[in-house]
Structure formats: C-alpha cells, structure tokens
C-alpha cells in the first residue's frame, strides 16, 4: 500500500476513535464523574504515596493513610468552616436592605450628577426590603446544597461512598494501571508516546498540585488579611476569593467586589476600604511574584486565556464532569500541539 494512503487511513482511524471517545464521554459524563474525580485526586496524591513507600511502607498501607488524611481534612472543612460560612451568609442576607438604601442614597445621586443616569433604586430598595426574608431563605437553601454537593441522592452517595473507595484502589494500583496502559501502546509509537506522556505529566502535575497549594494559600491570606483589615465577613470573602483563584484573575475580581460591597455597608468612613483594597494588592503581588513561580513553576505552558476557555468550553458541554476534565485535556492538547507544531516547522510543506 502507498505510504501516503496508509498515513491518511491511520489519521482517519485516530479521528474516528477520538470522536467515538468524545461521544462516550458525553453520554456517560454523569456516571464517569466519580471515577474522574477519584483519578484526579489519586494523581495529585500519588507522590505522597510514593514518598511513604520509600520508607518501606506497603503501598496499600500508604494509600490508606493518605485516604484517612483526605477524609479528615474534608470532615474538618465540613464541621468547622461551613457553619461559619452559613452564619456569615445569614448576616450578609440581613444587610441586603441596607445595600439597597445605600444604592439609593449614595450611588444613584453620583450617577445622576456625573453621568446623567437616572437609576430608579427606590423600586429595588422597596423590593429588597419586602422580600428580604425570601432572599435569606434562598441563600440558606443554597448552602445545604454545598453540604450535599448539589447532587441527586444517587450522585450524592456516589461522591461520598464511591469516590473514597475508587481513590483507595487508584492510589494502591496506580503503578499497575499506568503500566497496563503503556503495554497497549503500539511498539512503533511507544518511544514518542512515552516522551509526550512524560511532558503531559510534567505540565499537568506541576499545574494541578501547585495551583491547589496556591488556592489554599490565597484563601488563608485573604481571610487573615481581611480580618486584620476589620472586615466582618473576612472568612466568607477570603474563602470564596481564594478558591476561585483557580480561574485566573476571577478570584481577585470577585473578592474585591464582595469585600467592597461589604465594607461600604460596614465602615462609617469609606476611606477604611483602603486597608481592604491593600490586602488584595499585596495578595496579587504575592501570588504573581512568589507563590505561582515557586509552587506552580515557570515551565507551565497553559496560558490563562487557554485555562479560562477550557473551563468554559468543557463545562458547557459536559457540565461539572467537563470542569474536571478541562485541565487534563487542555494540558494534553497543549503538549500535542507543541509536537505537531515542531513537526510542521520541520516538514517540507512549511520549508518549501
């Protein structure tokens, strides 16, 4: 067979396989979500298990210790942080009428004076005051959905029961699973596939593990910094801003907006907001100049725009499963794109 024709057939076969795999993922996305979540957690925690095995601990025992540690952290988060968030959300909901009044007495005159905009905030204020109880009830109904994961009964049980079980087996058998996948690769492509997989592991591993540490560090820094600045709801604002740091620049934007609105309602003088804004300025400098280069690294090729596009694109197609799948898929595509681009620059199509 003509080599060119064979190459075209192979490319067509791979495209067909990719389309079939995409269709299977789309159809089974709700079922595969616990498996993918457990696999991602196992991928992040595998270096810790490897470190324990170097001290002659059996891998199954090391996996059990890591699983116990993760469950303990989850229970602490559920029992300690969540009640504080619920109490603070109740307080924020109770201040909604004051926010509407502030918009009417402060913001609306400024917009009218400088821009000529006539904002009818009286209607908003009256509506907020009359429906404050309903708004509070809605906010408090959202928080229990955080406890239950916002899922149906079956999905809730799968997350709380199936994920830990899957995580244990993934951690225990990670080396065996990787070796099994490696054996399936055709020998003629084995060297290239191994090189690409190692590059994907470098990009994805540094990004996921480093970004997780950055999120936790920023959540702690925001919470403590806003508490020192005197903000009443420092924990809620800090936790939200820190955890949303996973999406580039979104954490700072949401944090500044929430902290500014809360500060306007709390502080008698708006100049006290300078301390609140100073926390975000210092945090942004700390994140960009110290935390990200140290924890994530400068070798990551994932551009912030690519990260945001991947999260939105995969999330819109596959839902929460797509959000989990976005970064592994985008890291793999980025590495593949680098190799394809290098081959293109070396090809006769480009040179001639």
Which of 34-43, 104-113, 305-314 is predicted most confidently? 34-43
Integer CA distances (angstroms), 292 to 66, 85, 201, 297, 330, in order: 25, 27, 18, 6, 19
The DSSP letter of residue 28 is T
The tokens of 162 are what? 């199936």
Q: Give domain status of residue 321, yes or no.
A: no
Domain that holds residue 113: 29-184
Residue pair 14/142 in contact by the 8 Å Cβ criterion: no
pLDDT band at 64 (very low <50, low <70, confident <90, very high): very high
- pLDDT beyond 60 at 154: no
- pLDDT beyond 60 at 291: yes
211/205 Cα distance (integer angstroms): 10
Return phi, psi of residue 221, to 5°: -65, -45
Q: Which residues of 41-60 are buried (b: 16+ CB within 10 A; e: fewer)?
A: bbbebbebbeebeeeeeebe
Q: Give domain status of residue 193, yes or no.
A: no
Number of domains in the chain: 1
Q: Give domain status of residue 338, yes or no.
A: no
Range from 58-62, 194-198, 205-209, 294-298 carrying the lowest mean pLDDT = 294-298
Q: Give domain status of residue 343, yes or no.
A: no
Q: Give domain status of residue 234, yes or no.
A: no
Q: Give domain status of residue 217, yes or no.
A: no
Tell me what pLDDT residue 339 has: 74
pTM above 0.75, yes or no: no
Q: Give domain status of residue 248, yes or no.
A: no
143/28 Cα distance (integer angstroms): 28
Which of 1-10, 169-178, 327-336 is predicted most confidently? 169-178
What DSSP assignment string belongs to 31-55? HHHHHHHHHHHHHHHHHHHHHHHTT
Q: Give domain status of residue 262, yes or no.
A: no
């Amino acid at each position: 067979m003509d080599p060119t024709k064979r190459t075209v057939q192979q490319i067509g076969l791979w495209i067909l396989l990719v389309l079939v795999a995409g269709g299977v993922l789309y159809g089974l996305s709700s079922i595969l979500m616990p498996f993918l979540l457990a696999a991602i957690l196992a991928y992040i925690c595998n270096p810790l298990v490897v470190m324990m095995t170097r001290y002659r601990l059996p891998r199954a025992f090391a996996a059990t210790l890591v699983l116990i540690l993760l469950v303990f952290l989850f229970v602490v988060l559920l029992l300690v942080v969540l009640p504080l968030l619920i109490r603070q959300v109740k307080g924020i909901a109770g201040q909604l009428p004051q926010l509407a009044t502030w918009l009417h007495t402060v913001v609306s005159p400024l917009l009218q004076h400088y821009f000529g905009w006539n904002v009818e905030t009286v209607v908003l204020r009256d509506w907020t005051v009359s429906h404050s109880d309903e708004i509070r009830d809605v906010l408090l109904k959202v928080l229990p959905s955080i406890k239950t994961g916002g899922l149906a009964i079956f999905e809730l049980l799968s997350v709380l029961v199936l994920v830990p079980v899957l995580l244990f087996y993934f951690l225990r058998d990670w080396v065996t699973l990787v070796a099994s996948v490696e054996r399936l690769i055709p020998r003629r492509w084995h060297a290239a596939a191994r090189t690409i997989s190692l590059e994907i592991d470098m990009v994805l591993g540094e990004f996921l593990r480093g970004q997780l540490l950055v999120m936790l560090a920023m959540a702690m820094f925001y919470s403590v910094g806003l508490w020192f600045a005197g903000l009443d709801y420092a924990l809620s604002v800090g936790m939200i801003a820190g955890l949303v740091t996973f999406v580039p620049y979104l954490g700072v934007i949401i944090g500044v907006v929430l902290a500014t609105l809360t500060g306007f309602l709390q502080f008698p003088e708006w100049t006290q907001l300078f301390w609140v804004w100073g926390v975000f300025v210092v945090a942004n400098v700390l994140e960009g100049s110290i935390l990200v280069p140290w924890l994530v690294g400068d070798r990551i090729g994932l551009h912030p725009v690519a990260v945001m596009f991947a999260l939105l694109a995969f999330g819109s197609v596959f839902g929460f499963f797509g959000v989990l799948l976005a970064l592994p898929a985008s890291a793999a595509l980025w590495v593949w794109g680098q190799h394809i681009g290098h081959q293109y620059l070396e090809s006769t199509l480009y040179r001639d």
